[in-house]
Amino acid sequence: MPDQSDLLILRDRLRAFAEVRDWDQFHSPKNLCMALMVEVAELMEHFQWLTEAQSGNLDDDKKMVVAEELADILLYLVRLSDKLDVDLPKAALHKLEKNAVKYPVEQVRGSAKKYSDY
């Protein structure tokens, strides 16, 4: 996970980027959420017909394209969290702590079952 100061710098640069283009008017949480989902779908396209093994062994060109899609996702996620005044690193760490309780190691190690299936 990026350092919180990295995310704050990214947040501030995104604010400035949108401001000088007068795009803040379009950056409602609804619109940002929809844009985020579009970017996730674009990422998924790069893996759609690959085998499990192929998906874990991308060539350099494919990896660069995938990295750009991941960057788009991160940018929209940071922008959305900014518009909703959510401290993203804090929220992520809190969720990780909740998941540690929900998925205790001794119960779930090596299993892909959902917590409600135990």
Residue 117 has a pLDDT of 81
pLDDT at position 67 over 60: yes
Q: In terms of domains, do 38 and 94 share one?
A: no
Q: In terms of domains, do 49 and 105 share one?
A: no
Q: In terms of domains, do 100 and 77 share one?
A: no
Q: In terms of domains, do 49 and 98 share one?
A: no
Residue 118 has a pLDDT of 76
Mean pLDDT of the chain, nearest integer: 94
User: Which long-range contacts link 2-7 to residues 24+ away (Cβ below 8 Å)?
Assistant: 2/89, 4/89, 7/78, 7/88, 7/89
35-69 burial, b for 16+ CB within 10 Å, e for fewer?
bbeebeeebeeeeeeeeeeeeeebeeeeeeebeeb
* 5-9, 33-37, 109-113, range with greatest mean pLDDT: 33-37
Q: In terms of domains, do 57 and 40 share one?
A: yes
Q: In terms of domains, do 56 and 24 share one?
A: yes
Please enumerate in sequence order all residues whose Cβ is within 8 A of that of 70, keeping only pairs 6 or more positions apart, or say none: 43
Number of domains in the chain: 2
Q: What is the CATH number of the domain that holds 32?
A: 1.10.287.1080
| pTM, entire model | 0.88
Sign of the Cα torsion 52, 55, 56, 57 reads positive
Q: For residue 44, what are the domain limits?
A: 4-86
Q: In terms of domains, do 103 and 58 share one?
A: no
pLDDT bucket at 3, cuts 50 / 70 / 90: low
Q: In terms of domains, do 53 and 43 share one?
A: yes
